[in-house]
Amino acid sequence: MIEHWYITAAAVREFQIICGMPIANDGHLFDGPAKRLDMICRDAEYKRTTNSGTEIWQGKTPIRGKMERLELYVSRIKRSEGDAPQLVRVRLKQRGGKKRK
């Protein structure tokens, strides 16, 4: 990733769920996953842009002892939080047509 993204609280919560972490909105239970997600974003690779303009990037991280791919959804719409692109969604990349939670 070349530029800094603002990571939304909703994206952190989705990441917490994917990783099986406790859901928290502040404190160290929030800050730890937010920092880990920030590191994943820094190494992410651009994949495509949807018809609505949302960019989809791909990142990798170990989850429950296994390396997994994440889809990172980035909005470039300027919002009240600032001008930085915003990571608004995190999804576990599906493999081989099987739907995974």
Q: What is the pTM of this model?
A: 0.85
CA distance 54 to 37: 18
Neighbours of 94 (CB within 10 A): 11
Q: Name the least confident of 23-27, 60-64, 97-101.
A: 97-101
Which residues partner with 82 through β-bridges?
79
What is the rounded (10 degree) CA torsion for 56, 59, 61, 67? Answer: 90
Q: Over the stretch 59-83, which tens digit does the pLDDT of each residue have? A: 999 998 999 999 999 999 887 767 8
Q: Over the stretch 29-48, which tens digit does the pLDDT of each residue have? A: 999 999 999 999 999 999 99
CA distance 93 to 60: 10
Q: Report yes or no: 17 and 9 within 8 Å, Cβ to Cβ.
A: no
